[in-house]
């Protein structure tokens, strides 16, 4: 086998390894892998109704009770 084929194959494997390393999923600040990397907050009113909010500021009459990593 020619040395050019061996070196070419090793170079190709190296390029594939570098691309796989650069494109691997990153962890967010909570240590989870997610697509958007932002938190969502659960807001609850005095009747106990819940909804998700992208910010910690809930609608008037609602309070933030928990957060989640979101999708």
pLDDT digits (tens, 9 = 90+) for 17-67: 998 888 876 665 656 655 555 677 778 877 777 777 777 777 776 777 766
- The tokens describing 10, both together, are 């090793």
pTM of the predicted protein model: 0.38
Q: Domain residues of the chain, as ranges? A: 3-68
For residues 56 and 64, the answer to whether their CB atoms sit within 8 Å is yes
Alpha helices in the chain (DSSP H): 3-22
CA neighbor of 70 nearest in space, from 46, 43, 40, 48: 40
Q: Which residue has the higher pLDDT, 10 or 37?
A: 10
């Amino acid at each position: 086998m020619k040395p050019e084929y061996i070196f070419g194959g090793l170079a190709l494997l190296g390029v594939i390894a570098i691309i796989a390393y650069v494109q691997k999923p990153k962890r967010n600040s909570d240590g989870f892998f997610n697509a958007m990397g932002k938190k969502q907050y659960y807001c609850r009113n005095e009747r106990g109704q819940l909804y998700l909010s992208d910010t910690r500021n809930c609608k008037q009459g609602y309070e933030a009770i928990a957060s989640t990593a979101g999708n």
